Chains A and B, each alone.
Chain A
Amino acid sequence: MIEFDEVHMRLGEREVLRGITAGLPERRVGVVGANGSGKSTLARLINGLALPTSGTVRVLGLDTRRQAAKIRRGVGFLFTDPDAQIVMPTVAEDVAFSLRRKGLSREEVDRRVRDVLGRYGLGGHADHPAHHLSGGQKQLLALCSVMVLEPEILVMDEPTTLLDLRHSRQVADLLRQMPQQVLVVSHDLPLLAGFDRVLVLDQGRIVADGSPEEAIGYYRKLMA
């Protein structure tokens, strides 16, 4: 469960979010909006990467202002650019990096890494340098590095922006199968089809909130 209560966010002179209040218990939540509407900031508030100027954000029953570290253990975050998220030179090492503080044996780490890479179609790339992967494969690697920790909530900030159609579809298919609660910020409207709820942000405010059909219809009119 993600809860925003009267959240305001100011970056310098600019008020990026203006009084966001919403409880999000649904399994699949989409957020759409024009560039600069505040949707990426909203996503970053969920795992404490950004803190609200006023108001509170509660995730898994915890306040992001006081318990960000604890929240991050239960919330995975996928960024738009996988190159910024991959920190180890090879594929398997990057996934294993996520497990470094779990106190697992080397065999168990290897097993979990192999398992998640296999599930996301990167089983044959375990020892390959990460920079040899295609853009789509890098995004899948970034996803593996998040999913190996089995987070309760997954936040994705425009995960398909840099991907071709085939990899976008692959991410969409994977997203449908995930048991976690997933919040996706995206301009890729077909990705949000079948979601439980979609929020439309405009100038830092929620201006539409409902089913994908209703919210995306409203967004299309807003952008016309």
Chain B
Amino acid sequence: MNGLTGAYVQGGSVLHRLPAGVKLGGLVAACTALVLLRSPLALAGAGVVVAGLYALSRVGVAAAWAQVRPVRWFAVALFAMQWVFVDLQGAVSTTLRVVLAVALAGLVTLTTRTSAMMAALERGLAPVRLVGLDPFRMSLLLSLTVRSVPVVAGLATRVREAQRARGVERSLRAFAVPLVVSSLRHADALGEALIARGLDDD
């Protein structure tokens, strides 16, 4: 599992060397530009730029595919709905916009260590101290979210295996209830571990 899990791919490309803050700022600017681009042709051009950035990062085709793979069915459904309710041009533009935004976000996570991203976010969020919030804890949320994706996926696999063993593969309740319970247990244990690692003492 590589996609959406913040799996940093080690490398020495220009993108790897760029400061995390610059990459996050660039991501915000690029996503804004994607929203503003209207024609499918312009968005196709943006697609070529994104592909070029992936080539520049040298993270490999498998890692690149892993970033957009999780949204492939969503993209198909989105395209179909837009085509039915809007038109073909709208469907192509909207779907391209979403897929390119996901690909760009994936590129940032592939070329940036989570710790560097956390440090950049912590600096960027410094003003929230004025309203009594802790920027470190807010940036830690990002790390915990990224870290929890493979853990919850592992829990889901275990629940599915147990379902199969008991012959209740098709029961949504038999899947959802143990998954929610084990996820909550994991959250409890994680909270306790964070206290043990001194989080409450910061």
Chain A residues within 8 Å of B, Cβ to Cβ: 47, 49, 69, 72-73, 77, 79, 81, 83-90, 93, 96-98, 101, 127, 129-131, 145
Contacts and interface: CB of A to CB of B under 8 A. Distances in A.
Nearest to B185: A84
Contacts of B8: 89-90, 127, 129
Interface residues of B, number: 30
Contacts of A89: 5-8, 114, 143, 146-147
Interface string B109-122: 00001110000000
Contacts of B196: 47, 49, 72, 77, 79, 85
B77 interface: no
Nearest to A69: B201
Nearest to A101: B202
Contacts of B1: 131
Contacts of A127: 8, 10
A87 B144 contact: yes
B21 interface: no
B166 interface: no
Interface of B: 1, 5-8, 10, 113-115, 140, 143-144, 146-147, 150-151, 154, 186, 189-190, 192-198, 200-202
A146 B169 CA distance: 40
Contacts of B10: 127
A101 B198 contact: yes
Nearest to A126: B10
A93 B195 contact: no
A84 B186 contact: yes
Nearest to A155: B196
